[in-house]
Amino acid sequence: MNSKERVFSVITGKEPDRPPVVFTLSLYGSKLINVPPEIYYTNYNEYVRGQAAVINQIEPDILLAPFALSYEGAAFGSEITYLNHGVPNIKKPAFKNISDMLNIKIPDIDTDKHILYIRNSVKLLKQEFGDSFPIAAIVTSPIDLPILLLGLDLWLETILFNKDAAKIISDITAEFCIRYANALIDGGADLIVMPGEFWNPRIVSKDIAIQYALPLFIRTFPQIKAPIVLHSGGNPISPIDLYVQVPNVIAFLLSKMDSFADARKIAGKERLLMGNMEGTHLFNLNEQTIEKICYKILEDTKNDTNFIFATAGADIQYDTDINKIILVKKIMSQRR
């Protein structure tokens, strides 16, 4: 059974040969091939070469498209900066005030260089590895994308005090999200992973989640042509009861702070849950702590057939010892 068969066995309720194991190793490929991130995140051939090294040395069960959310902001005009050992970040949001954004056009996903880099990465990943590995593309949630365009404070202020403008902006980002996600799916992505914070009642108020995120997701997600994994970005995802019935959401990715038992009660027996080790923390953990965390997850999820281990949060750090990742893979591949 290859990785694609293994993952989709779990998704469709069948028993795999072993539990799938998933790591956020989008950035880590640049380390394995010793290519600076600025080149890695601008040359899609180098990105795919890095993911080939990830397969050869670690072999996670899902391959990730570039985890570069800032590129969505860049498509709208935000300035980005490249880090020595990190992912590209937003340096300056595209818009200084709300009025500047209300009349903008949605970026052309067929010509923007940042979007084309992601799309071409997906196409080449599919061409090289798509028969054996499922490919997950990362798309910012439509309620969170305005943060990359306006900054967090201005977007929160808009939601709280200018509901009409918030609706217009959300419509723009929702349409972009649909077009972008479907282009990635057409290029070969099997899953869409959607990280964000503004839909999470543990981060924003429940009123914001109910008034803005929930109806936006209900309207947007059915138009996306592949299953969606809601990813809390490493924040606690419970309570998830608001989103259990949102169309096209097949899984929730839990953080290390979430209780698997509580999430299972809310999500129901059939819902796929993923998580719940914080990948960015691996860098600082010793072998004994890693083993303790892994065996706790194994104990919590024993006999649960609708669970896939995955690291939560952002990318595993560039300087993380590969032996730590391999140790996690070895332990979490055990049959529960």
Mean pLDDT of the region 250-262:
90
203's CB contacts (< 8 A; 6+ apart) are 197, 235
Topology of domain 3-332 in CATH is TIM Barrel (3.20.20)
Question: What pLDDT, on a 0 to 100 scale, did the predictor assign at position 336?
Answer: 58
Residue 105 CB-half CA count within 13 A: 4
What mean pLDDT value characterizes the chain? 94
Mean pLDDT of the region 222-234:
89
Interatomic CA distance for residues 127 and 92, integer angstroms:
35
Q: What are the distances in angstroms from CA 264 to CA 226, 241, 305, 334?
A: 23, 11, 12, 21
User: What digits encode the pLDDT tens for the residues 101-137?
Assistant: 898 889 999 999 999 999 999 999 999 999 999 999 9
Res. 186: pLDDT tops 90:
yes
Question: What pLDDT, on a 0 to 100 scale, did the predictor assign at position 276?
Answer: 86
Res. 229: pLDDT tops 80:
yes
| Domain edges within the chain | 3-332
H or E element in which residue 79 lies:
strand 79-81
Coil/strand/helix, residue 235? coil
User: What digits encode the pLDDT tens for the residues 59-93?
Assistant: 999 999 999 999 999 999 999 999 999 999 999 99
Q: Is the peptide bond prior to 19 cis by the omega test (within 30 degrees of 0)?
A: no
CB atoms within 10 A of CB 323: 10
pLDDT band at 235 (very low <50, low <70, confident <90, very high): low
Number of residues assigned to the chain: 336
132's CB contacts (< 8 A; 6+ apart) are 2, 3, 4
pLDDT band at 231 (very low <50, low <70, confident <90, very high): confident
User: What digits encode the pLDDT tens for the residues 10-19?
Assistant: 999 999 999 9
- For 284, counting Cβ atoms within 10 Å of its Cβ (0-12 exposed, 13-18 middle, 19+ buried), the class is exposed
